[in-house]
Amino acid sequence: MNSVELKGLTFSYERKAAENRNNVLTDISFSAAEGETIGLIGANGAGKSTLLKLLVGLLADYKGDIKIGGTRVEKSSLAHIRRKTGYVFQDSESQLFMSTVYEDVAFAPRNYGLSEEEVKKRTIRALENVHMEQMKEKQIYRLSGGQKKLASIATILSMEPDVILLDEPSVALDPRNRRNLIRVLNELPGTKIIASHDLDFIYDTCKRVILISDGRITADGPAEELLKDKVLLEHNGLELPLSFSRAR
């Protein structure tokens, strides 16, 4: 079974998406296998962030089909979908609202009504996965931008999701924290879908890339091939990753 499956997804922020010329997404179809990491790329306004929000049920009234782990994303299934799908916001501040790192990461398991023993187990495991177990008692406001990003990922990992969605995870990170985030993501199990303008970051974390342009899938294939296609990228408002540009 695929972790994620979309068929004919069409969406507009206005009503009657199928009949609207202002669709944000039109006829999007693809699937993600268990354990696969996919990069979503495209120019500003292409529809990447909207697609992630639809996958986790933050937006509704779409046409077509979205399934997570075989369950259709709809109002009646949202509680189940959100336990199986973790969404890491672009702005880490939106995801961190408790006083300490431990309390933030423990929030979701506690909210599920799990025992305190299970909460502790999940919280420590999540912090170990992002190499922040030594910072569990640190106050959130004392964290660097990179540490906040890792903490926000840990809040998702404590839910033990099957699918992780990340929106522009490398934004505003210095080189050291960016490298650390790449390492963490490459170590994580499960299916990951990463939306980013940072094509070097996508190359370092994803084996497959889906290019979205004007709300439609323009290309879908191996990162090794698509991210080296200068003509394709430039035609869709993107540039070669810096590592490839220097090589030329």
Per-residue model confidence as pLDDT tens digits over 92-124:
888 999 999 999 999 999 999 999 999 999 999
Going across the sheet that includes 208-213, the strands are 85-88, 163-167, 191-195, 37-41, 208-213, 216-222
Give backbone dihedrals phi and psi of 176, rounded to 5 degrees, phi first: -65, -50
Give the Cα separation of 157 and 125 in Å (integer): 8
pTM: 0.92
Tell me what pLDDT residue 67 has. 98
Give the Cα separation of 81 and 67 in Å (integer): 9
Chain segment 61-71, per-residue pLDDT in tens: 899 999 999 99
User: Which residue, among 180, 127, 135, has the nearest Cα to 154 in the 3D structure?
Assistant: 127
Burial of 245 (C-beta count, 10 Å sphere; 0-12/13-18/19+)? exposed
Angle between helices 145-157 and 175-187 (to 10 degrees): 10
Give the Cα separation of 170 and 197 in Å (integer): 9
Tell me what pLDDT residue 35 has. 95
Which mean pLDDT values do the consecutive 10-residue runs of the chain (248 residues) have? 93 70 92 97 94 96 96 95 94 91 96 95 95 95 92 95 95 88 92 97 97 97 96 95 71
Residues with Cβ < 8 Å from 36, sequence gap 6 or more? 3, 191, 192, 207, 208
Domain range list for the chain: 4-94+162-247
Pair 162, 69: CB distance under 8 Å: yes
Give the Cα separation of 157 and 88 in Å (integer): 10
Q: How many CB atoms lie within 10 A of CB 180?
A: 18
- Fold for the domain defined by 4-94+162-247: Rossmann fold (3.40.50)
